[in-house]
Amino acid sequence: MISIQLAESDLKILGCFPVMSQLRPHIEQGKFIEQVRYQMKEGYQIAFLELDEQAVAVAGFRISTCLALGKFLYIDDLVVDELKRSQGYGKQLFQWLIEYARNHGCEHLSLDSGVQRFAAHRFYLTERMSITSHHFGIQL
């Protein structure tokens, strides 16, 4: 059975680690719950699509407000288990995020994606997202 829910307990957060680590391999399992709990203090949440009691798609996100966009939902992390891709799970979770944003009064949904993530870009464009800016950064 498929369900989408927020990971609120430590057990559910840890259950998202195997999928999240495919996108964020630098995060250590032993520090994952602590890091997520810290980010939750700043509004971060994890939603996950569960299939047969196992997370197969995970999204880390936050709701914020800025002058450029108004109230928006920002997706920090979005990943489907590499063995479960192209089966519609990413689409289901993405649509859930859109509805969540609408239900929480957001005017916009956005994310950044590494320039090398071509398959992800195809997915975002298929989901009617637009490339609206360039993101610049500097390592400090």
Q: pLDDT of 96-128, one tens digit each?
A: 999 999 999 999 999 988 888 888 888 888 889
Asked whether the beta carbons of 46 and 13 are under 8 A apart, the reply is: yes
Asked whether the beta carbons of 70 and 30 are under 8 A apart, the reply is: no
Mean pLDDT score of the chain, rounded to an integer?
A: 94
Asked whether the beta carbons of 56 and 10 are under 8 A apart, the reply is: no
The CA distance from 76 to 78, in Å, is 7
Structure tokens at 125: 């464009």
Average pLDDT over residues 47-54: 96
The CA distance from 22 to 85, in Å, is 12
Closest CA to 71 of 110, 108, 99, 111: 108
**Which sign does the torsion angle of CA 16, 31, 64, 126 carry?**
negative
State the pLDDT at residue 57: 98
